[in-house]
Structure 1
Amino acid sequence: MVNYVQTIREKVGHMPLLLPGSIVIILNNKGQVLLQERADGDQKYGLPGGLMELYESAEETAVREVKEETGLHIYESELNLINVHTGKDWVVKLDNEDVFQPVSIVYYTTKYDGELTIDHNETKSLKFFHRDELPNHMVLSQRKYIEQFNAMIQSGEVTI
C-alpha cells in the first residue's frame, strides 16, 4: 500500500497539511481502556489509531490501525462515534519541522476478537487501564478524548 502522507510530504515538504485519522477507545469487559505504549522516541501511552490512507473510510482506518498496532480485530459495525476533533488548537509541529492539523475521528467499541500482539515497530507494550487511573506519561489530546468519553458515560449519553 502506498503511504499517502509520505507521498504528499515528498511533494510539499513541511507545508501544513490537514490529516484525517481514526482513534479507537477499546474497552474490555471490566470497562478498562486499552492503551499502547508507543515505541517511538517519547514512548508515551496513547490510544490505537492512525492516519487515513487514500480511498479508505474512517471506519476502515480504525479497523486497520487497531489490527496493526494491537493484533485485535474490531468491527466497523460496532464502532460508536464519540466526536471529531480538529481546529487551530490541535495543530502539531513535529521535530522534523512537518506541520499538520489532525482531523481526529474518535470512536469506542467493546467488541473485539483476537489476542493482543505487539508490533515492536510501533508498540512497546499494550495494557488495559481503568479509565480514571491513566498513566501520567500520555498523549495529552488522547487523555482528553478519554475524559470526554468518561463525561459522556457520567451524563448517561453513552452506556457501556
Structure 2
Amino acid sequence: MLETFSNSSDIIAISVVIIGLAILGYLSIKTLITSNLFQKGINLYQAKDFENAEIVFRKVIAINSTNDMVRLLLGDILNQKGQVAEAKALFCEVIDSSPKNPDAYLRLANILMQQEQEVEAKANLVQAKELLQKQRQPERAKKVSLLLDKMTAKLQ
C-alpha cells in the first residue's frame, strides 16, 4: 500500500511538471510570435506601408492586448488615415492602462489640437510635460513647455 501511495505521488509530481512545461512552452511560442509580428509591423511602419502595418499591429493586439507601443503606433496610423475617433480611443486606452506614459498624452493632445479643443489639449500637454520631467527627459519636457507657451500666447 505504501508503494501505491508513492506511485500516485510520482504521477502527480510528473503531471505537474508536464503541465508547467506545457504552459511555459505555450507562453514562449506566444511571445516569439508576438515579437516577430511586432518587428514586422515596425518595419512596415518605417517603410510607410501603413495599410499592412495596421493589419500586423491589429494581430499583435489580438495576441497581446497590453502592448502600449503597438496601440500608439496603430493610433498614429489611424489618425493619418482620418480615423480620428478610433485613434483617440486607442490613445485614451493607453492613458487608462499606463497613466505614466507621456507619449499617449502627447498624441491625444495632437488630436485635440486638430479638433480645436485647446483647453483639453493643453491639459494633456501639461500632464505629458510633468511626466517627462519626472522621468528625467528634460529635452522633451522643454519642447512641450515651448508648445504650451505658444498655445498660451495664442489663446490670449
TM range (shorter): under 0.3
* TM-score (normalizing by structure 2): 0.25
Q: Could you say which structure has the greater relative contact order, defined with CA pairs below 8 angstroms and 6 or more residues apart?
A: 1
**Bigger radius of gyration among the two:** 2
* TM-score (normalizing by structure 1): 0.25
Q: Which has the higher helix share?
A: 2
